[in-house]
Amino acid sequence: MSLSVPQTHPIAPSPVVAIIGATGAVGQAFLDCLATRRFPLSRLRLLASPRSAGTALPFGNSRITVETLAEDSFAGVDIALFSAGGDISRRYAPMAVAAGAVVIDNSSAFRMDPDVPLVIPEINAKALLDHRGVIANPNCAAVVALMAAAPVHRINRIRRITLATYQAASGAGAAAMAELEASTRAHLAGEIYTPQVLPHPYAFNLFSHNTAIDPATGYNDEETKLMREIPKILGDDAVRVSATCVRVPVMRAHAVALTLECEDPITPDAVRRLLAAAPGVRLVDDAARNHFPMPVEASGRDEVLVGRIRTDRSDPTGRSIALFAAGDQLLKGAALNAVQIAELLKAPRPPERG
């Protein structure tokens, strides 16, 4: 099967690419990914709020001036990479599509829209064939979790996923990253630091993810996103998911502990073989040295690290497996995944999966 953009949104061989939210943490990662992967664009436009307009950002050997995002910003744009929040996406993405662009959106605005594919290229690239101008980038923790779980699901269907996340500052944006750094310096100096961005002290602390809790279910918004997005990406609404999401004092890599309950018995060795062959995954599973995935080693890497693979001894049927994963939130959890989607839109054939 060949992968091509629907004719209503053809992609030029050397497309004009726009980054919306270019001055944010993910926007900066977009710039880095496009440059390091030598994405064959003909022109790059950077769009942001009036506050950021006029800023010059480095791209390769040049500098590009940020423009003010406006309703007429998308004329001539082929691919629009959005990372400026759900409200901006809901307002401007339809304008970009109407102007002929394909939108790849990093917010949660369109993820659960049945007409919008929610894509991790290594897992469900074929979903891109059904896009209508907007493609959603999944929640960053969902990406890390599914890079570990999907290879198992493909061979031995997963009935239930129980997971706990350990989420880095980068997931809350550049301001939260700065707060982690400043609060850590203050703590080490014996000074009082009053949180400005996050609701609780961040240095040497962890707390429930800083999103609102649904009083009816007891789950916060981040947990609810994971529980809804994971079945959609897997293409299996029967998969049951329970999540606990925690913010930890790590700069930019998320970690996830998962327990997968499968239809049939499964062994750690079988899972290791699957993950060792999975694209975008690096197996880190050295029990002799107690060396397993760590955020410090995942930061700056394209691959998601997966290891700590073991049988869940609480399940006497042998159908459950436990593992641990870590991945760079700004890369595979956000910008890299979106750029990989853009690359697939231009590719003559998709990966043989998904």
User: In which residue are the tokens 């939210």 written?
Assistant: 21
What is the length of the chain? 354
The alpha-helical segments, DSSP class H, found in the chain are 25-36, 86-98, 121-124, 140-155, 174-188, 221-234, 268-276, 295-298, 336-346
Q: How far apart are CA 45 and CA 207, in angstroms?
A: 38
Q: In this structure, are residues 189 and 294 in contact, taking their beta carbons and an 8 Å threshold? A: no
Question: What is the Cα 313 distance to its own chain's centre?
Answer: 31
- Ramachandran area for residue 235 (φ above 0: left; ψ -120 to 50: alpha; else beta): left
Radius of gyration of the chain (CA): 20
CA angle at 214 for the pair 223 and 328, rounded to the nearest 5° = 20
Question: What is the Cα 183 distance to its own chain's centre?
Answer: 26
Q: How far apart are CA 163 and CA 242, in angstroms?
A: 6
Q: How far apart are CA 288 and CA 303, in angstroms?
A: 23
Question: Within the chain, how many helices (H) and strands (E) appear?
Answer: 9, 14
Q: How far apart are CA 138 and CA 337, in angstroms?
A: 9
Residues with a known catalytic role: 140, 254
Query: Which residue, 77, 44, 48, is CA-closest to 61?
Result: 44
Q: How far apart are CA 292 and CA 166, in angstroms?
A: 15
Which letter, b or e, does each residue of 168-184 get, where b requires 16 or more Cβ atoms within 10 Å of its Cβ?
bbbbbbbebbebbeebb
> Cα torsion at 217, 223, 225, 230 (round to 10°)?
-110
